Every structure is written in structure tokens, then in C-alpha cells.
Structure 1
Amino acid sequence: MTGPDPALPPPVPLREPDLPRTAKVRPVALRTGWTTGTCAAAAAKAASAALFSGTAQREVTVALPSGQRVTFPVERCELDVDAGRSAEAVVVKDAGDDPDVTHGAHLTATVSWRTPTGVDIDGGSGVGVVTKPGLGLTVGQAAINPVPRSMIIQSVGEVIDLYTSGLRVVISVPDGERMARRTTNARLGILGGISILGTTGIVRPFSTASWRASVEQAVAVAAAQGLRTVVLATGGRTESAAIRLLPALPEVCFVEVGDFTGAALRRAVEVGMTDVVFVGMAGKLTKLAAGILMTHYTRSKVSPDLLAGITTDAGGGPDLVAAVATANTARHTYELWDCAGLLRTAGDLLCARVAEVLARFTDGRLRARVAMVDFTGTSCVAATEPAWVGLCA
């Protein structure tokens, strides 16, 4: 590591505050829901029970990883009456109050006898296939994660003796390929449908834990491809800008990090990344420059004093500094800088301070570069790399 840059102010303390369980205080409790893994296990048990008993099932009870047992209605259950060798059941996913793209999905299990004992689990239509390493699943395997696989085996084993019988379980999700377009599956190398997910079996409304986990997983997948640069963006517009800014990088390098910059950086160090590029707008960059690595609005505020100090360092006069010190938002400051002709100078200073924070958070193990884009996400207006300014459009 090199010593501190004399052009920068003294280092700010680094903070990574916890996010509350929900993003808002609500007058009533939010309703929990069930993961695709839990619903797949329930459908598999219903189909197995129908195959074993010859009777269509109307409801089914399965165990969550915690041991809690939950009963689900079975939307549809059919036997292959001609051959007597297979059965199919459907459980509809209820995600509770979580804005989940798979809410209402029809988790479908088709179960058939097979000669070897035990359970063979595979994915059918609407369930993605793993095409890249780094996901904890074998390339070429259906994207059914380990905990859901265990839940399926346990649930099926409650109705059929797997030491003496063998079953093939195929999980499918009608319309799953369309649902997957609203996820990051394709970028992670999961093609053709959704993933069957879940570690607790329960969907927590507006789950911050799931977002943090998806950010960390995305970084790990990029590293598993042998890549050493990760590009963090705060949202859809900034991610699109980042892709246009760095078109030579593979798409898997780009991670929509939201508020979880600290978590992404920590994972990047763990998996051997060497470079991080952060692309954001003025608000998030100001919070990061203040040393705040978890930037949700309930846990951090934009510092007018920091922005006023940058304005002074950029050569702003007393009136401009005073206006920035009382600005309502970082966007307001952005507009004041722009009107004063200081957007590039002040923005570059802001980006430099963010880069210092990111590098220091990782103990200098990542080289950090930063770009600020305008509020439409169409142009880079300031950066630690001068050549980036003016790009993106």
C-alpha cells in the first residue's frame, strides 16, 4: 500500500450499519411466504403420495429446514392411470408480501418409479440449467440448490421407503423462462428458466438478506470465470451506464449492488478479485465518500458538510459553498455545481474520495476506480479515470 494522498482530506471513519428487517415501518406486519424450494418439495411429496397410494392428494405437509411443518393446498394432482408409473402435482407459490417475480408460479413435480433405489432429481421446462461455475452446482445440472434438493428427498422419503424403492423427480415451472428474464440468472449462467432456491424455506418480505446473498453470489460467479475486475453499480440505470462505459468486460463482471457495497467488496477480496469499479450517481457516491458502506436511506444520510468541503476544494466561492451546505439533496448540490461550472472538478474530487474509501475498506487489496453518471444514466460526468468522462451515451 502507498501512503495517504496529500491532496485528499484525512480519512473518514468507515461504517457499515445494519439494515432493518424491513425497509419501512408499517402499521401491520408483513406476511411471509414460501420459497420455490419449499413449494417444489411440497409438490414432489404430493405426487409421490399419489403414485404410492393411487389417490390424488388435495393437501400436503412438509418440513422446513428448521423442523417446522407447513401444510400446502395442492392445486392439481394427477395419476398416470394407464401405466401406473407416474404422477404429477402442482403447488402454487405464495411469496407473501415480498415482491418476488416467482409469486404465483406453479411449481410442478412429475414423479415416476425407477429401478435404482433412492431419488434422482432433475429440472424440466422453466427450470434453469447451470452453464457457469461458481454457483455451488455442477455445470450442466438443473438449477435446484442443495437445500431444496434435501427438502425434496426428505419430503418424498416421508411417503416412500427410498431404501427399497427408487424415484425420479422432475421439477418444472410453466412460464419459468419468462420469469427468469426479470432476474440475474442469465448473467450468472443459469439459462432456460428460474432457480429453485431457499435456505430456510421461508420468504421474508423485502428480504435484505436475499439481496445481499445475490450480490455476493454474483461476485463469486465472476471470479469463478477467472475474471479479476468487478464493476459495482447501484441500480439499473447506473448498471446500464457501466456496461456502456466498459464494453470490453464480460457481462458477468457487472453487479447491481444496491446498498450492499461493503458486502460486495468483502466477497471480492475473498474470491481473489484485484480491481473494483464503482459507477453511481451523486447521492450514493456522497454516502460512500463519508465512509458509509451500507447506504440504505434508513441507515445513512447525505452529508452537506462533506459536499460543502468538496465545493471549497474545487474552488467554489463563499456563496456557492453556503448554498451547498444548505442544499436539500445531493442532486441539488449536483445542480449547483453544474450551474457554477464546477461539476467536473467537484465530481472528480468526490470520485477520488470514494475510491480512497473503497481501497481502504479492502486494506488496499483492491484497486478502486470510480465514475459518476448523470441522473439519466446516459453520460459519465466525473471519474477517477479522465478518459471515461463524456462516455456512456
Structure 2
Amino acid sequence: MRDPVTDFEYPEAWVAACRSPDLLPDVERGLAVLTASGSVLRRGFTTGTTAAAACKAAVLSLALDTVNEVEVTLPCGITVSLPVDAYRGEASCRKDSGDYPSDVTAGLEFTATAVSSLSDGVQFVPGAGIGSFARNTHRHRLGTPAISDPALDCIKRSIGEAVEQAGLSGVTVILTAPRGAEVAQKTLNPRIGVQGGISILGTTGLVEPWDDHMTEGVLDRIARTNAVVLTTGRLGLRYSRLLFPDREAILVGSKLEEALRVADGDTVICGLPGLIMKFMNPNVLEGTGCATVEELSTTSLWDEVARRELAAFRDRYPRVRVVIVDRSGRIIGESP
């Protein structure tokens, strides 16, 4: 059995030990993960997926009046069904975080209003409760909505599908998060320069149940692997497989400390700079004037800071090699 999201082949012993065999179809579809102990943990849906469902439902309800469920094709390619509440152009969808216990956005409601127009085309408008960038950065301009590219593509694709299904020539969709500004204060948004609301994110469209999955499944997998690459996210996983094809790449999110504790043998950490640099030194941004590690990586300070932190980390973990890449896969930092 293979996980369609991570491409991880589950050992036969894990499948045989499954305590909830009726949930194995969800594992096969990518909606859940199977752990070494036999438990099945549900993946949740990102803010991007939830927002896309609300927008699609609002458009469909212009033609169908009442809509209770919509299908959304996620950035990872999986099509899922989400419950919604939609009536005559007004829709809402609440964020399901699955079995991830630390998601502060769990249950957050996204609402969408759709109005048909005579002119062709789709207009998508982020409204109240959706955050925006408070200053210019190398990737975002002041006032730009805090919506990641994969999430925005998912939202626009979902709206387009609904427009076609409803037989409309054009539509305007306004997305809001009534408690977005309040919930955003519990996230990293205030520290990374996003103001006024929540970010709309989702590289795969799914939320991983990392807290439990790391304890039961991934740690066991790391302990059994002699030559492992630990990575922190989806892009890191992709580039780790390209850069180290002879190693097993394992996604551990922010749990690098736990992963290194059980890693045996030659170990590599590979991924984008944010989580890795913060793991090596939580105070790495002090005195730099940068709000994020990614921003730091684009300044003239990066080379000096990266060399210093990588050398200090190598002193603490002499058997661990660190390779830091940017979003294009270019190596921007490497252990001495």
C-alpha cells in the first residue's frame, strides 16, 4: 500500500497490524496515514482547501439553490468531498484539521458570496479576515493578500469548475473569514508581517497529523533507516529525492530534534531555510532586521550567517550534514 501524497510505501507489517482495517481505504486515498503501531490518523484540510470549498459552493448555489457538499481537487491531485452550507450565493465551510491536535485554525469558518455577472470571466476578491502583507518583501508587495500560489490556484480552479457546472458566463466571488483577524493573532502572522487576518495556505491541500504521526510511525521508520535524509516540507521532500537519490527521504516537519534523537548512521538534513535555521538557532534573526529566515536568505547577510550557523551546528552534530535549498532547488547553504 502506497501513500499517494508522500509516495511512501507502507510496510506489510504495518498494514497487517492495522487496528482499524475499515479505514484502510482512506489511507489508500491519501486521506489518512497508517502508523507503525497500527493506528490510523486522519489528515485534515488546509485553509486553502476550505476556502476553495466555500467559494465553489457559493457559485453552485446560484444555480442549485441549496448545496451541502462539494468536490475539490487538491494541489496534490487528490479529489475530496467537503461538507458546506450554501444557499443562493452565500456559502460557508469550516476547517477540518483531522487528527492534528495543535492546529489553532481548527474549526475556522470561511464564508463566500457569489454574484453572477453578464460579462465573461471570474473575479475573486479576498475580503475581511483574510490577511495581507504589511510591507514589501522579495516575494510579496505591500497589501498583497496572504494567499499562497497553490492555494490560489485551487480556489480559482474550484470557482471555474462551478461556473461551468452552473452554466454561468461570469461571476464575482468574495471570500471572508469572520474570525480571521482574531485567530491570526495565535499564528505566526504578526511576526512575519501579515496583518488583518489569516493566511490562506496549502502546498498539498492536506494537514498532516504530525504530532502523533512522528511519535508512532515516522520515528520508527527513521530508526530503521541507515542512510536517511530528514526534510521539513513538500518542496524539501522533492529536492531531497533529487539531490540524494540513494537515500530514503523522510518528511518530519518541525520535529527535527525528535528525528535526530533516533537517527542511526549517516544523516542529512535537507530543505528550505526557515525551519532548519530556526532549529539550529532559534535566535538566528536577531540583529538582522529581517522578519523571516526566507527574507534573510535574500540579503547580503545570508552567506555569513549561514556559514556561522552551519559550522556551529556541525560542532554539535558532527555526523549530520545540512543542505539548505531555495524554492527553485538551488543549494544556498551546506555544512562545511
TM-score, normalized by length of structure 2?
Answer: 0.58
Matches of 1:275 and 1:216 in 2, distance apart? 17
User: Following superposition of structure 1 onto structure 2, how do residues 223-372 of structure 1 map, counting pairs within 5 Å?
Assistant: 232-234=277-279, 239=282, 246=286, 248-250=287-289, 252=291, 255=293, 268=297, 273-276=302-305, 287-293=316-322, 361=334
User: Following superposition of structure 1 onto structure 2, how do residues 29-108 of structure 1 map, counting pairs within 5 Å?
Assistant: 29-53=40-64, 55-74=65-84, 76-79=85-88, 87-98=89-100, 99-108=102-111
TM-superposed deviation, 1:104 = 1.1
| CA 1:67–1:290: 2 relative to 1, 3 Å | closer
Aligned length: 241
| CA 1:269–1:242: 2 relative to 1, 3 Å | closer
Matches of 1:168 and 1:123 in 2, distance apart? 11
- Verify the 8 A CA contact 1:117 1:163 in the aligned structure 2: no
| CA 1:165–1:205: 2 relative to 1, 3 Å | same
Once the two structures are superposed, residues 239-273 of structure 1 have per-residue CA deviations (whole angstroms, 9 ceiling, x without a partner) of 4x667xx4x542515x5xxxxxxxx8xx9389982
Q: Which amino acid aligns with 1:37?
A: G
Higher strand share: 2
- Verify the 8 A CA contact 1:137 1:145 in the aligned structure 2: no
1:209 is matched with 233
Matches of 2:61 and 2:195 in 1, distance apart? 31
Q: Which amino acid aligns with 1:117?
A: D
2:203 is matched with 199
Matches of 1:270 and 1:279 in 2, distance apart? 16
TM-score, normalized by length of structure 1?
Answer: 0.50
The answer to whether the aligner puts 1:124 opposite 2:127 as a matched pair is yes
Matches of 1:108 and 1:275 in 2, distance apart? 46
2:28 is matched with none
TM-superposed deviation, 1:42 = 0.9
- Verify the 8 A CA contact 1:124 1:170 in the aligned structure 2: yes
Q: Which amino acid aligns with 1:39?
A: T
Matches of 2:134 and 2:181 in 1, distance apart? 15
Q: 1:139 aligns with which of 142, 156, 159?
A: 142
Once the two structures are superposed, residues 175-224 of structure 1 have per-residue CA deviations (whole angstroms, 9 ceiling, x without a partner) of 222222232223332211111111222222229426969983759xxxxx
| CA 1:147–1:48: 2 relative to 1, 3 Å | same
| CA 1:196–1:158: 2 relative to 1, 3 Å | same
Q: Which amino acid aligns with 2:209?
A: P
1:346 is matched with none
1:315 is matched with none
- Verify the 8 A CA contact 2:67 2:86 in the aligned structure 1: yes
Q: 1:148 aligns with which of 148, 151, 168?
A: 151
| CA 1:102–1:114: 2 relative to 1, 3 Å | same
Q: Which amino acid aligns with 2:233?
A: A
| CA 1:189–1:116: 2 relative to 1, 3 Å | farther
| CA 1:149–1:233: 2 relative to 1, 3 Å | closer
Q: Which amino acid aligns with 1:77?
A: A
Once the two structures are superposed, residues 48-72 of structure 1 have per-residue CA deviations (whole angstroms, 9 ceiling, x without a partner) of 111233x121111222234432111
TM-superposed deviation, 1:28 = 0.7
- Verify the 8 A CA contact 1:47 1:88 in the aligned structure 2: yes
Matches of 1:163 and 1:96 in 2, distance apart? 34
TM-superposed deviation, 1:115 = 5.0
Matches of 2:205 and 2:333 in 1, distance apart? 37
- Verify the 8 A CA contact 1:188 1:218 in the aligned structure 2: no
- Verify the 8 A CA contact 2:43 2:98 in the aligned structure 1: yes
| CA 1:175–1:279: 2 relative to 1, 3 Å | farther
1:301 is matched with none
1:173 is matched with 177
| CA 1:67–1:268: 2 relative to 1, 3 Å | closer
Matches of 1:154 and 1:360 in 2, distance apart? 36
Q: Which amino acid aligns with 2:75?
A: P
Q: Which amino acid aligns with 1:234?
A: F
The answer to whether the aligner puts 1:189 opposite 2:193 as a matched pair is yes
Q: Which amino acid aligns with 1:202?
A: L
| CA 1:52–1:186: 2 relative to 1, 3 Å | same
- Verify the 8 A CA contact 1:52 1:160 in the aligned structure 2: no
Matches of 1:146 and 1:199 in 2, distance apart? 8
Q: Which amino acid aligns with 1:179?
A: V
Matches of 2:54 and 2:114 in 1, distance apart? 10
